[in-house]
Amino acid sequence: MPEPVLAEIAKPVIHHRTSQFRDIFADLSQRLQRLFGTEGPVLTLAGSGTTAFEAAQVSLIAPGPAPRALTVASGKFGERWQDIYQACRVEQIRLNVTWGSCPTAEQVAQALQENPDISVVTLVHSETSTATACDLQSIAQAVREHGCDALLIVDGITSVAALPLHMDEWGIDVLVTGSQKALMLPPGLGFVGLGPRAVHRLQQVKPDGCYSLDLRRWLESWQDRDVPFTPPVNLIRGQRLALEMIESHGIADVWARTAELADMTRGRLQSMGLQLISDSPSDSLTGAFYPSGVNDGAFRAALREKHAIQIAGGQDGRGGQWKGKIFRISHMGHVDADDTRAALDAIETQLTAAGHAIG
Amino acid sequence: MPEPVLAEIAKPVIHHRTSQFRDIFADLSQRLQRLFGTEGPVLTLAGSGTTAFEAAQVSLIAPGPAPRALTVASGKFGERWQDIYQACRVEQIRLNVTWGSCPTAEQVAQALQENPDISVVTLVHSETSTATACDLQSIAQAVREHGCDALLIVDGITSVAALPLHMDEWGIDVLVTGSQKALMLPPGLGFVGLGPRAVHRLQQVKPDGCYSLDLRRWLESWQDRDVPFTPPVNLIRGQRLALEMIESHGIADVWARTAELADMTRGRLQSMGLQLISDSPSDSLTGAFYPSGVNDGAFRAALREKHAIQIAGGQDGRGGQWKGKIFRISHMGHVDADDTRAALDAIETQLTAAGHAIG
């Protein structure tokens, strides 16, 4: 986190039913709209990215056998959105793609053609568990050209403020992200951008079995520059400042820096003889398989304890069992070329120490 | 907020899948158990008190006509818990009590006797909107003596760490609170304590239409000193420290201080000729009706701008229309006798300025 953001969230709490808070909240909302590239509302929910995505899922389609959702998964998070519709008894067509690969516009178009009653499509732009990004613009176009009423709900949790993304221009109906990745804040806030078709749909669907996740409640408050429940005031102040910092750099520069760090990382890891986990790598993070003989826990502990560097391990899901087999490095948010070089040097040192022959 | 707590939440983010976080989380969980007075799990959710209460409501009873919930309301928050069961299609018997009064053990016992299929009772210990507390110990006893399987779910959002409360000793099945009141943290965390009967019930009920609010998921992670979704790490660190501060004072001293501030406030307001809004005042906050001729907005703005004092106004609900008619002063958390006297002096000054004849 940038120091000024941490200092901002440590300011004394202001009450949320005051004009001071409403001004901060309105400023945050406008910055989120510019970041998402939308003229529609961007709602700020308390919770994790999962809270925000579930709210979008359950608010835009009612339970039952019809209409159905098309749920695209190529990693742990796409699978979670499938789990949510299963828990909520929304009938779904699952489009499962091999972990490390990405879904294509052709696959989505075909699934929509075969299932004309699809009402909602869930898609992950940058699948964090596999460090893989899809061609969101083409997929969005395929959904729009399908001609039916299907809404596209996009998980942008590791893509918003990291990868080029234009919500309105690309015709994305719902875009969800969280505070703790490229938005440079601690965890605790989730965001839901709503295009005009999604706002229209909200008025038609009667969500079933939810109250605080019902986006109609959040939208109504938002239109009044307000929130329906006591919000994490300090995190909201911090998020406003973090977005001001992003805007002062220029979002295009942030995207370019992220891409450069990713490019450098992929090159260095491959020159160490490692295999990337993705055939369509996201620029927001990079993952590689461990060479044989390297223990995940010991390796990451050495990086943390000897080099003060934190990287992520792998995750298990239905489509992959990557726990202990891979590691992942983030390029999002408050991280620069020096940080990344230091991480790569440390990785090289510890791989060598673990007996892997470099180069 | 205490300054050290604000400094704690401004520390750099630590990753939540680390032993460092798990140690902090385990320490927080133990302190919450002591604070609640329970040997059962106390779960830490991201969100507001509403998030946590809704999670308890929907996880412990399935939708449908039977079994039913008994929902006790005597203010805006009790009414919100009724709204949630209505949104979730859980059949309910509403026990509505006049705003400013509190429900009694006799009323609850009678409702249970008349409705033997009640499976869950929702109750507000300290109703924030009316500054009114009920006799929780007696009501809990009435529910236990009813002999049926009914679980008591208690809203302790403005009572935990403010009013004497012993979850296990009193036989409370579920106790919910939030971080932003007597727990001395900014908003953003909700807590759910589960007694043994509630833990048992969790395994039996199949919650309908929810995923991130399904407490089984949170309980399973908790048993592994973990959380199911990315948690607000910084707020969790701050909450751990705030509870350490409360324990270093001693919880009995905190209760006594809260009661003293409430007593002083009630005395001063009555000596100014004001009428309290409650016939069973909570010690966690005090409310009074405005004398005629005092404008709510102007009065509270003068307190804020001329005295840097923030008090709350009134709220509207089904059982009362108190917006603009009352004001409320908090005695919870990081507030002492000097703060309270300063607030009361300022109130006297501004009432006089508004033309109210004091004494």
Average pLDDT, chain A: 95
Question: Which of B118, B126, B163 has the alpha carbon at shortest distance from B142?
Answer: B118
Chain B contact set for A209 (CB, 8 A): 58, 63, 87-89, 208-210
The type of residue at B183 is L
Tell me: pLDDT of A80 over 80.
yes
Whether A153 contacts chain B with CB within 8 A: no
Tell me: pLDDT of A146 over 90.
no
As a whole number of angstroms, the distance between CA A213 and CA A55 comes to: 5
Classified as helix, coil or strand, A57 is: helix
Residue A359 pLDDT = 67
CB A246 within 8 A of CB A35: yes
Question: Which of B192, B210, B254, B185 has the alpha carbon at shortest distance from B6?
Answer: B185
Percent of chain A surpassing pLDDT 90: 91
Whether B156 contacts chain A with CB within 8 A: no
Residue indicated by tokens 């805007």? A247
Residue B78 pLDDT = 98
Give the ipTM of the model, two decimals please: 0.91
The type of residue at A270 is Q
Q: Is the dihedral of CA A75, A76, A79, A80 positive or negative?
A: negative
Residue B299 pLDDT = 97
Secondary structure letter of residue B179 according to DSSP: T
Q: Does the beta-carbon distance from A210 to B87 stay under 8 Å? A: yes
Q: Which of A71-75, A227-231, A323-327, B158-162 has the lowest mean pLDDT?
A: A227-231
Output A208 or B215, whichever has higher pLDDT.
B215
Secondary structure letter of residue B229 according to DSSP: S
Residue A42 pLDDT = 98
Residue B64 pLDDT = 86
Secondary structure letter of residue A291 according to DSSP: P
Tokens standing for residue B140? 């809990």
pLDDT band at B358 (very low <50, low <70, confident <90, very high): confident
Tell me: pLDDT of B208 over 80.
no
Q: Does the beta-carbon distance from B213 to A208 stay under 8 Å? A: no
Q: Is B36 exposed, middle or buried (0-12, 13-18, 19+ CB in 10 A)?
A: buried
Classified as helix, coil or strand, A102 is: coil
Q: What's the whole-number mean pLDDT along residues A273-295?
A: 97
Residue A317 pLDDT = 97
Tell me: pLDDT of A330 over 70.
yes
Classified as helix, coil or strand, A254 is: helix
Question: Which of A254, A233, A232 has the alpha carbon at shortest distance from A243?
Answer: A254
As a whole number of angstroms, the distance between CA B30 and CA B116 comes to: 36
How many residues belong to chain A? 359
Q: What's the whole-number mean pLDDT along residues A126-149?
A: 94
Residue B18 pLDDT = 87
End-to-end CA distance of chain A: 34
B77-96: burial string, b at 16+ Cβ within 10 Å, e else: bbbbbbebbebbebbbbbbe
Q: Is A230 exposed, middle or buried (0-12, 13-18, 19+ CB in 10 A)?
A: buried
Residue B216 pLDDT = 96
**Shortest Cα distance, chain A CAs vs residue B356, angstroms:** 25
Degrees (nearest 5) of the Cα angle B20, B26, B32? 140
pLDDT in tens, A188-223: 999 999 999 999 999 998 877 689 999 999 999 999
**Shortest Cα distance, chain B CAs vs residue A21, angstroms:** 13
Q: What are phi and psi of B126, to 5 degrees?
A: -120, 105
Chain B contact set for A232 (CB, 8 A): 186-188, 232, 235
As a whole number of angstroms, the distance between CA A214 and CA B51 comes to: 12
Q: What's the whole-number mean pLDDT along residues A121-144?
A: 98
Q: What's the whole-number mean pLDDT along residues A168-191?
A: 96
Whether A301 contacts chain B with CB within 8 A: no
As a whole number of angstroms, the distance between CA A214 and CA A58 comes to: 7
pLDDT band at B66 (very low <50, low <70, confident <90, very high): confident
Q: Which residues in B199-302 belong to E strands, given as ranges?
A: 285-289
**B 99-128 residues with CB below 8 A of A?**
none
Q: What are phi and psi of A212, to 5 degrees?
A: -75, -15
Q: Does the beta-carbon distance from A234 to B15 stay under 8 Å? A: no
**A 178-197 residues with CB below 8 A of B?**
178, 180, 186-188
pLDDT in tens, B82-100: 999 999 999 999 999 999 9
**Shortest Cα distance, chain B CAs vs residue A138, angstroms:** 30
pLDDT in tens, A10-61: 998 888 988 899 999 999 999 999 999 999 999 999 999 999 999 999 999 9
Whether B301 contacts chain A with CB within 8 A: no
Q: Does the beta-carbon distance from A47 to B47 stay under 8 Å? A: yes
Distance of CA A340 to the CA centre of its chain: 21
Q: Count of A–B CB contacts within 8 Å? A: 157
pLDDT in tens, B259-317: 999 999 999 999 999 999 999 999 999 999 999 999 999 999 999 999 999 999 999 99
Chain B contact set for A313 (CB, 8 A): 17
Q: Is B307 exposed, middle or buried (0-12, 13-18, 19+ CB in 10 A)?
A: middle
Residue A259 pLDDT = 98
pLDDT band at B359 (very low <50, low <70, confident <90, very high): low
Tokens standing for residue A3? 């120091």
CB A5 within 8 A of CB A245: yes
Residue B283 pLDDT = 98
Whether A51 contacts chain B with CB within 8 A: yes
Question: Which of A251, A253, A260, A240 has the alpha carbon at shortest distance from A339?
Answer: A260
Q: Which domains does chain A have, with CATH numbers?
A: 3-248 (3.40.640.10), 251-353 (3.90.1150.10)
As a whole number of angstroms, the distance between CA A159 and CA B190 comes to: 28
As a whole number of angstroms, the distance between CA A41 and CA A33 comes to: 7
Degrees (nearest 5) of the Cα angle B263, B269, B271? 100
CB A92 within 8 A of CB A70: yes
Q: Which of A98-107, A216-225, B208-217, B306-315 has the lowest mean pLDDT?
A: B208-217
Tell me: pLDDT of A153 over 90.
yes
Classified as helix, coil or strand, A26 is: helix
Residue B346 pLDDT = 98
Tell whether omega for the bond before A231 is within 30 degrees of 0, i.e. cis. Answer: no
Question: Which of A257, A208, A232, A174 has the alpha carbon at shortest distance from A85?
Answer: A208
pLDDT band at A66 (very low <50, low <70, confident <90, very high): confident
The model carries a pTM of 0.95
